[in-house]
Amino acid sequence: MEMTHKPFPSPTKAKSVAKERPRGFNGHRHDKYVAAAFLGPSLVVLGIFVFYPMLKTLYLSLFLTNNVGRPTVFVGLKNYGTLLASSAYRASFQATLIYVFSVVVLTLTVGVLLAQAAVQKLAGIRWFRTIFSATMGVSVSVAAIFWLFIFSPSVGLLDQLAASLHLPVINWLTTPGWAMVAIIVSTVWMNLGFTFLILFGALQMVPTTLYDAAAVEGASPRYQFLHVTLPMISPTLFFTATVTLIGAFKSFGLIDLMTAGGPNNATNLMVYQVYRDAFLTGNYGQASAESMILAVVIAGLTWVQFKFLEKRVTYE
C-alpha cells in the first residue's frame, strides 16, 4: 500500500526505502540508506565546493604556478616565507587589523546605543525600531554608491559642506588615512541594521524586575547600564562581536567599489590582496598562500565562537 503511494521525488530511492523499512518499532535498521539519500546531496555540494577547494588551495600554496593556475614547481613553504618577508603583505595585514578593530568597536558601540535608545517605552518607538534596522536591507554595492557620493571629490556632500563652511577640503578617497576612515564608516553603517536587531532582541529579554530592583536601591542609569544591562547582554555582545569580526576580515565589495585597494595600497585588505594576486596578476601560488592565512584566521575566530556558545549551552 505504501509502495503505490510514491512519496519521494526520485521513485527508485522511494521504493527501496519504503519497501525495506520495517514498520513500527525498530525503525533504525535501514536508517543508513535513508541517511545517505537525505544527506548525500548536501555532502556532494560541500565536498565539491568547500572541502576540495580548501585542500586544493593548501596544495597550490606549496607550488609555483603558471599563468592559468597550474602548479609547476614544488617550493614547500616558500610562498609563505615570501609573504612574511614582504613589506607589502605585512602592510595589507596591518591595514586589515586596523580596519577590523575599528569596525568591530564602532559597530558594537553604536549598535548598543541604538538598541538602548529603542527599548525606551515612548509613543511611536516602533518607527524608530524599523528605521534602525533599515541598513540590514542594504547590499554592499548600494551602500558603496551612497557613500561614494558622500565621500567623492568635489561633487561629494562632505566636500561641498566643507567648501560652504570655508573648511579645508579633504580628498577622502585619495588620501591614504582618510580612505581607510571612509571604508570603515561605510562598513559600520552597513553593519548597524543587523547588529541593532540582535542587540535589541537581547535588551528586550533583560527582566524588568532587575531594573526595578536597581532603581529601588537608587542606582543611577549609568550604574544600571554598567552593572545590569551590560552583564545581561554580554553573551549576545560576544556573539555579535565575532560575527562582525569574521565579516570584517572577509570584506571585499566596499573596497572594490570605493577605493580598489588604494590609494597607495592603504585599503588593500586581505581578501582584496588575494583577488589581486590571483585574478589580476595571475600569481596563483602566492594568492593560495594568502588564502590559507585568511582561512586560518577566520577558522580560528569561528572556533572561538563555537567554543563559547557550547560553553553557554552547558551552563544553561
- Binding to another protein (CB under 8 A) within 181-210 occurs at 189, 192-194, 197-198, 201-202, 205
The answer to whether 144 and 257 have CB atoms below 8 angstroms apart is yes
Contact letters for another protein, residues 89-118 (x by CB under 8 A): ---------------------x--xx--x-
Q: Does 225 participate in binding another protein (rule CB under 8 A)?
A: no
Q: Does 15 participate in binding another protein (rule CB under 8 A)?
A: no
Only one of the segments 73-81, 91-99, 120-128, 211-219 lies at the binding site for another protein (rule: CB under 8 A); that segment is 120-128
Which of residues 106, 179, 214, 292 is near another protein by CB under 8 A?
292
Q: Does 133 participate in binding another protein (rule CB under 8 A)?
A: yes
Estimate to the nearest angstrom the gap between the alpha carbon of 163 and the chain centroid.
37
Q: Does 176 participate in binding another protein (rule CB under 8 A)?
A: no
Q: Does 46 participate in binding another protein (rule CB under 8 A)?
A: yes
Q: Does 167 participate in binding another protein (rule CB under 8 A)?
A: no
Which of residues 73, 77, 84, 157 is near another protein by CB under 8 A?
157
Which of residues 11, 52, 81, 109 is near another protein by CB under 8 A?
52
Only one of the segments 82-90, 91-99, 145-153, 169-177 lies at the binding site for another protein (rule: CB under 8 A); that segment is 145-153
Which of residues 89, 93, 172, 239 is near another protein by CB under 8 A?
239
The answer to whether 158 and 173 have CB atoms below 8 angstroms apart is no
Only one of the segments 72-80, 83-91, 123-131, 173-181 lies at the binding site for another protein (rule: CB under 8 A); that segment is 123-131
- The Cα 236–Cα 16 span in angstroms is 46
Q: Does 263 participate in binding another protein (rule CB under 8 A)?
A: no
Nearer to another protein among residue 102 and residue 240 (C-beta): 240
Q: Does 280 participate in binding another protein (rule CB under 8 A)?
A: no
Q: Does 215 participate in binding another protein (rule CB under 8 A)?
A: no
- Binding to another protein (CB under 8 A) within 240-259 occurs at 240, 246, 249-250, 252-253, 256-257
Only one of the segments 51-59, 101-109, 176-184, 215-223 lies at the binding site for another protein (rule: CB under 8 A); that segment is 51-59
Q: Does 136 participate in binding another protein (rule CB under 8 A)?
A: yes
What single string gives the DSSP state of each residue in the chain?
-TGGG--SSSHHHHHHHHHHSPPSS-TTTTHHHHHHHHHHHHHHHHIIIIIHHHHHHHHHTTEEE-TTS-EEEE-TTHHHHHHHH-HHHHHHHHHHHHHHHHHHHHHHHHHHHHHHHHTS--TTHHHHHHHHTGGGG--HHHHHHHHHHHHSTTTSHHHHHHHHTTPPPP-GGGSHHHHHHHHHHHHHHHHHHHHHHHHHHHHHHS-HHHHHHHHHTT--HHHHIIIIIHHHHHHHHHHHHHHHHHHHHT--HHHHHHTTT-STTTT--HHHHHHIIIIIS--HHHHHHHHHHHHHHHHHHHHHHHHHHHHHHHH-
